[in-house]
Amino acid sequence: MIAVTAASGHLGRLVVASLLRTIPPSQIVAGARTPEKVSDLASKSIVVRQADYSRPETLAPAFAGVERLLLISGSEVGRRVEQHKAAIAAARQAGVNLILYTSILHADRSPIGLAEEHRQTEAAIRASGVPFVILRNSWYTENYGAAAVQAAKLGVHYGCAGQGRISAASRADYADAAVAVLTAKNVQNGRIYELAGDEAFTLAEFAAEVARQSGKPVRYQDLPEAEYRAVLVKAGLPEPIAAMLASGDAGISKGALYDDSRQLHALIGRATTPISATIKAALAG
């Protein structure tokens, strides 16, 4: 049996859909904090179990009989180390043979604020003694979908990423990569994949592509990190979210989300999804 946590999320759903193309539904465990959210999966004969990172008592039963587990990082920033540790302990208790974890690109040296929880989770997995594979995912191209629509409307995209290049890929690409490892015959214990898109772009190039596709002038306005954060707060984002996004851009300016090793391409055996495709889908509504 192969289990996927956070199966109700965007990535989790894509992983389950990709797994369904490879193994029978009865061998898939979809773990969700709120099982009702994935009742559609139960109706496809997938095994649905409650797996709430904040309720450790749900986790070992959720992983019972599971050989390989994809632990998708949670979305409650600031609480994730404790939550992920509970999932790792439960996987160990349940006798899981392999843990895959969705981390962040170059987690070991990433200056992005979000990377700290990933570093600590990676360390906890390593310390658990359970065989593991780390999938260090770069940004999703989908992170820029709403921004593309907004930029086409306003004629400007703000950021603080400077000339930093972003090697993004779509969630479906990362999902297929996870499934490639989850279903592989032989897996190298301790392997770390740096997963990133084939093509990298700067935010100026992103703005130029939005302009090309929308037929409207769009420019990129680079700002100091504090100013960008203030713009986001003025636009209505809560301060912690604004700080997180600005930290991401600042990291990009230092090359944190650039990678040209093409490990994602190799793992999925095809080209990754370019940012132009995400912009096209977003502008089409």
Query: Which token pair is 259?
Result: 């990678």
CB 265, min distance to ligand NAP, A: 17
Contact status, residue 148 vs residue 283, Cβ threshold 8 Å:
yes
Q: Choose one: 8-16, 126-134, 213-221, 267-275; the region binding ligand NAP (CB under 6 A).
A: 8-16
Question: Toward ligand NAP, which CB reaches closer, 147 or 211?
Answer: 147
Nearest CA-CA partner of 15 in 23, 24, 7:
7
Give me the least distance between CB of 238 and ligand NAP, in Å please.
16
Check binding of 6 to ligand NAP (CB under 6 A): yes
Site map for ligand NAP, 72-111, x if CB under 6 A? xxxxx------x------------------x---------
Give whichever of 54 and 188 is closer to ligand NAP, judged by the CB atom: 54
The answer to whether residue 247 forms part of the interface with ligand NAP (CB under 6 A) is: no
Which backbone phi and psi does 203 adopt, to 5 degrees? -70, -25
CA distance 77 to 73: 10
| Shorter beta-carbon distance to ligand NAP: residue 5 or 228 | 5
Q: Of 8 and 202, which CB lies nearer to ligand NAP in the complex structure?
A: 8
Q: Which is nearer to ligand NAP, 53 or 220 (CB)?
A: 53
Contact positions vs ligand NAP (CB under 6 A): 6, 8-12, 33-34, 37, 51-54, 72-76, 83, 102, 137, 139-140, 143, 171
